[in-house]
Amino acid sequence: MKSDHHLILRVIAKCLLPLITIYAFYVQFHGEVSAGGAFQAGIVLAVTVILYALIFGLAEAMRAVPPWFARGLAALGVLVYGGVGVWAMVQGGQYLEYQALFNEPPGGHDGQHAGIILVELGVLFAVAGAMVSIFYALAGRVAEIRDEDW
Amino acid sequence: MSSEVMGEASLSIIGVLLLCLLFVMGVAIARLRNLFAIVILSGIYSLVCAAWYILVDAVDVGFTEAAVGAGMSTVVLLGAILLTSRTAKPERRLARLGPFAVCVAAGALLIYATADLPAVGDAGSPANAGVGLTYLKINWADTGVPNVVTSVLASYRGFDTLGETVVVFIAGLAVVLLLGFGERALGETLRKRKKEDETP
């Protein structure tokens, strides 16, 4: 790295990035009992990649999270969400009828829990992937953010 | 004066302060010409909005506003600034009158409409007495999920959320189709680095 006058920024960002990632997963998997959910978690997860790109450069970020991975993740998220609906149909229920996932009688909640967790995972993938793709598309237009631009 | 009343009063004072801050920032954003300052100020605007949402107990909305409004859209707009100029063109004085009239009219309509709004936390308001109350009553027996927001979002309104997810996906797809995947920048940087390595 030829210009290292952002040293403090880099060191602090290195400490913060894992914490932000853990927070994203906390929001994701705690969504059933507290505020926030997959949409927010997806944004927070995307923000970690964006923060990494802003501080360590776009090329480094694209090496860590390649553009093909980001767009694939977005498509996979929609597939997972739609797939849960198809799974319910295969089990004899209606589209996205979580109660039918394990053919439970009314009062059983395993299908609801599994369905909600899977669907939220799909939303997480779709939102995080789409946001990172949008950022790459915008930031990729400028070869390098010069220091005097800030 | 009981401590509960004191708490209520201080909460409403904080609310008024936050709303005043929003007003001042709105005027500042409208008058500024420097795009960088405008983007940063609108990020702060979203953050203050989020604080106000949390003050009126809309935690999920506040969280979303902080993540999307203050975080994501600020970054996207900063990226957009790099593609255009740093300051907005000054417009003619007469040309400002049209948008100003629209703003005043919309503001007057909104203020007129607030007279009909129910009080914060009013149990008899349509949002709390109608379908919302039904969800609160049947949610636990139906789904066993403690957070009603989650069960409404993912279970009762699963179809709507599927639509939202597809909308987010299509939005990303549209931006990528218009602007490219950003891989050209990566290739350019890598080529430049390779050239630097070859010529010491």
When pLDDT is cut at 50, 70 and 90, the band that residue B199 belongs to is low
Verify whether the Cβ–Cβ distance A44 to B67 is below 8 Å. yes
Mean per-residue pLDDT, A101-119: 86
* Structural domain total, chain B: 1
Q: Give me the pLDDT at residue A143, please.
A: 52
Verify whether the Cβ–Cβ distance B60 to A35 is below 8 Å. yes
Whether residue B70 is contained in a domain is answered as yes
Mean per-residue pLDDT, B92-116: 90
pLDDT digits (tens, 9 = 90+) for B22-57: 999 999 998 888 999 999 999 999 999 999 999 988
Verify whether the Cβ–Cβ distance A116 to B75 is below 8 Å. no
- For residues B145 and A111, give the distance between their C-alpha atoms in angstroms, rounded to a whole number: 12
Verify whether the Cβ–Cβ distance B154 to A116 is below 8 Å. yes
Whether residue B196 is contained in a domain is answered as no
Q: Is residue B108's pLDDT more than 90?
A: yes
- For residues A31 and B8, give the distance between their C-alpha atoms in angstroms, rounded to a whole number: 29
**Among residues of chain B, what percentage have pLDDT more than 90?**
36
Q: Is B143 on the interface with A (CB under 8 A)?
A: yes
Question: A36 to chain B: nearest residue by CA?
Answer: B60
Q: Is residue A116's pLDDT more than 70?
A: yes
Q: Is residue A101's pLDDT more than 60?
A: yes
Q: Give me the pLDDT at residue B38, please.
A: 93
Q: Is residue A134's pLDDT more than 60?
A: yes
User: Domain of B45?
Assistant: 1-117
Q: Give me the pLDDT at residue A104, please.
A: 81
Query: Which has the higher per-residue pLDDT, A145 or A51?
Result: A51
Residues of chain A contacting residue B59, judged by C-beta atoms under 8 Å apart:
35
Q: Specify whether the CB–CB gap between A25 and B50 falls below 8 A.
A: no
Whether residue B200 is contained in a domain is answered as no
Tell me which residue of A46, A137, A72, A74 sits closest to B178, measured CA to CA. Answer: A137
- Mean pLDDT value across chain B: 86
Verify whether the Cβ–Cβ distance A136 to B182 is below 8 Å. yes
Q: Give me the pLDDT at residue B49, please.
A: 95
For A58-76, b/e burial (b = at least 16 CB within 10 A) is: bbebbeebebeebbebbbb
Question: A44 to chain B: nearest residue by CA?
Answer: B67
Q: Give me the pLDDT at residue A145, please.
A: 54
Q: Give me the pLDDT at residue A147, please.
A: 55
Which amino acid makes up residue B105?
Answer: A
Residues 6+ apart with CB under 8 A from B124: B118
Q: Give me the pLDDT at residue B89, please.
A: 81
Whether residue B163 is contained in a domain is answered as no
- For residues B29 and B40, give the distance between their C-alpha atoms in angstroms, rounded to a whole number: 10
B7: CATH: 1.20.120.1200
Q: Is A129 on the interface with B (CB under 8 A)?
A: yes
pLDDT digits (tens, 9 = 90+) for A62-78: 889 998 999 999 999 99
Q: Of A57-61, B19-23, B41-45, which range is least confident? A: A57-61
Q: Is residue B16's pLDDT more than 60?
A: yes
- For residues A81 and B97, give the distance between their C-alpha atoms in angstroms, rounded to a whole number: 48
Give me the residue from B71, B176, B178 closest to A47, CB to CB: B71
The residues in A 45-104 lying below 8 A from B, measured between CB atoms, are 46-47, 50, 54, 57-59, 62, 67-68, 71, 74-75, 77-78, 81-82, 85, 95-96, 98
pLDDT digits (tens, 9 = 90+) for B83-92: 787 888 877 8
| Both structure tokens of A135 | 């950022």
Q: Is residue A1's pLDDT more than 60?
A: no
Q: Is A111 on the interface with B (CB under 8 A)?
A: no
